Amino acid sequence: MTNPTIVAIDGHSSTGKSTVAKRLAKHLKFIYVDSGAMYRAVTLFALKKGCFDDNGLNEVSLINQLDDISIDFKFDNDTQKSQIMLNGENVEDSIRGMEVSQRVSAVAAIPEVREKLVALQREMGKKHSIIMDGRDIGSVVFPDADIKFFMTASAEERARRRYEELKAKGDATSYEEILENVKARDHMDSTRTHSPLVKTDDAILIDNTNLSQDEQFEKMLKMIK
């Protein structure tokens, strides 16, 4: 059996990593793994268990409960989409709202959380060819990935895209609030001590501020091939 192929896509929030990754995976018949969804699911778990209060996140409480968290991806044949499961419950939608978005970077900064999720992610890459998107995929999870991309776009353009996406789902969060969240997460993700968001030297930079989704897809597909 040939070794599975690993495509790593890292970059800033709301750069459309998951959209292009899903499309590439479908085309190449690889498995798509949304590592951000895994950090979001842990954040939702922390919210449900009362690990957040007025003082922010109680890290010790969350760390003590990490063994109670089980995360899986289930492929839904009807929608042809993969859904993230937290302890057997489909949380694909509930992890996308602002309540989680505003807290996920604090959760993702905890080394014990990262250790658990990185181990899970590496397991996934052993059996199948995968496309995984996130912040540390090319730098930490799969430093030997076959190809690495680093995606970025202006903060304003990214906030505009996220605003449209949430609006279509009936979420009334304002553009200003989203822009603030995009900038706050950029800052936290890039300056944290553990596995900060960095572009590795061997990653291909894709600035998609002015690229259409089709242009970006074709460009990346060509490079992978």
Are the C-beta atoms of 216 and 206 separated by less than 8 Å?
A: yes
| 92 scored as a contact of ligand CDP (CB under 6 A) | no
Residue in 178, 137, 174 with CA at minimum distance from that of residue 157: 178
Query: In the window 183-202, what residues touch ligand CDP (CB under 6 A)?
Result: 185, 189
| Angstrom distance (rounded) from CA 71 to CA 84 | 7
Give me the least distance between CB of 149 and ligand CDP, in Å please.
14
- The answer for residues whose C-beta is within 8 angstroms of residue 60's C-beta and 6 or more apart is none
| Angstrom distance (rounded) from CA 103 to CA 43 | 7
Give me the least distance between CB of 2 and ligand CDP, in Å please.
26
| 39 scored as a contact of ligand CDP (CB under 6 A) | yes
The only residue of 13, 82, 139, 208 in contact with ligand CDP, by rule CB under 6 A: 13
Both tokens of 48, joined, read 């449900």
The only residue of 6, 8, 9, 14 in contact with ligand CDP, by rule CB under 6 A: 14
Determine the residue with CB nearest ligand CDP: 36
| 208 scored as a contact of ligand CDP (CB under 6 A) | no
Are the C-beta atoms of 196 and 190 separated by less than 8 Å?
A: yes
Give me the least distance between CB of 54 and ligand CDP, in Å please.
22
| Angstrom distance (rounded) from CA 94 to CA 84 | 10
Nearer to ligand CDP, 78 or 100 (CB): 100
3-state secondary structure of 94: coil
| 23 scored as a contact of ligand CDP (CB under 6 A) | no
Question: Applying CB under 6 A, which residues contact ligand CDP?
Answer: 13-14, 18, 35-36, 39-40, 104-105, 108, 134-137, 185, 189
